[in-house]
Chains A and B, each alone.
Chain A
Amino acid sequence: MSGYLSGLIGILGINIIFAYSIYVTAATGQLNLGGAGFQAIGAYSCAVLSEMFGLSIPFLLLLSTIIGATVGFLVAFPILRTRGVYMVLATFAFAEIVAGVILNSDSLGGPTGLVLSDYIETDVIIWSTIGVVVFCFYLMSTRIGLAMRAVHDDEAVADLLGVNRRAVQVGAFAIGGALAGLSGGLYALYFGFVEAQYFNAFLSIFVLLYVLIGGTQTAWGALIGASFFTLVPELLRMGDDWRFFIFGVIIVVMMIWRPEGMVTRQAIDRITLKLFPVVRRHG
Chain B
Amino acid sequence: MVFTQQLVNGLMLGSIYISVAVAFTLTIGILNFLNFTIPALYMLAGMVGWSVSYYGLPFGLSEPLGWAPSLLVGITCSVLASLLVERFTYRYFKIKHGDSTEHAIPLVSSLGFLLIFEYAILGAHGSETRGFHTPFTDLNWRFADLVISIPQVTSLILSLCIVVGLSFMLKKTRIGRALRATAESPDTATLMGVEVRKIVPIVFVLTGLLCGLAGSIFAVNYSEVSPYMGDHVGTKAIAAMVIGGLGSVWGAIAGGLIVGISETFSIHFFGASSAQITVWGLLLVLLIFRPNGLFGHNAIGKGKF
Q: Give the Cβ gap from B83 to chain A, nearest Cβ, in Å.
A: 15
- CB of B115 within 8 A of CB of A96, answer no
Q: Does A139 touch B at the CB level, under 8 Å?
A: no
- CB of A86 within 8 A of CB of B100, answer no
Q: Which residues of A contact B120 (CB under 8 A)?
A: 245
Write the chain B residue with the least CB distance to A200. B231
Q: Which chain B residues (56-107) contact chain A, with CB distance < 8 Å?
A: 88-89, 92, 95, 97-107
A186 and B276 alpha carbons, distance in the complex (Å): 27
Binds B, one of A128-136, A148-156, A270-278: A148-156
Write the chain B residue with the least CB distance to A94. B284
- CB of B113 within 8 A of CB of A86, answer no
Secondary structure type dominating chain A contacts = helix
Q: Does B131 touch A at the CB level, under 8 Å?
A: no
Q: Which residues of A contact B114 (CB under 8 A)?
A: 248
Size range of the interface on A? 35 or more
Write the chain A residue with the least CB distance to B102. A259
Q: Does A185 touch B at the CB level, under 8 Å?
A: no
- CB of A89 within 8 A of CB of B276, answer no
- CB of A256 within 8 A of CB of B92, answer yes
Write the chain B residue with the least CB distance to A80. B288
Q: Does A85 touch B at the CB level, under 8 Å?
A: yes
A136 and B303 alpha carbons, distance in the complex (Å): 30
Q: Which of A208, A241, A242, A256 has the most CB of B within 10 A?
A: A241
- CB of B101 within 8 A of CB of A89, answer no
Write the chain A residue with the least CB distance to B116. A248
- CB of B301 within 8 A of CB of A85, answer yes
- CB of A244 within 8 A of CB of B284, answer no
Q: Give the Cβ gap from A237 to chain B, nearest Cβ, in Å.
A: 15
Q: Does B165 touch A at the CB level, under 8 Å?
A: no
Q: Which chain A residues (229-255) contact chain B, with CB distance < 8 Å?
A: 239, 241-242, 244-245, 247-252, 255
Q: Which residues of B contact A6 (CB under 8 A)?
A: none
- CB of A245 within 8 A of CB of B99, answer no
- CB of B103 within 8 A of CB of A84, answer yes
Q: Does A88 touch B at the CB level, under 8 Å?
A: yes
Write the chain B residue with the least CB distance to A79. B288
- CB of A248 within 8 A of CB of B115, answer yes
- Interface 1/0s, chain B 94-138, versus A by CB < 8 A? 010111111111111101111110111011000000000000000
Other 11 A-B pairs with CB < 8 A, given A85-B32, A245-B119: A31-B101, A85-B107, A86-B242, A89-B238, A97-B284, A100-B274, A103-B276, A209-B111, A212-B101, A251-B109, A251-B111
Q: List 14 A-B contacts (CB under 8 A).
A: A85-B34, A88-B34, A97-B276, A100-B280, A154-B99, A205-B111, A212-B101, A245-B119, A248-B119, A249-B112, A250-B112, A252-B89, A256-B88, A259-B95
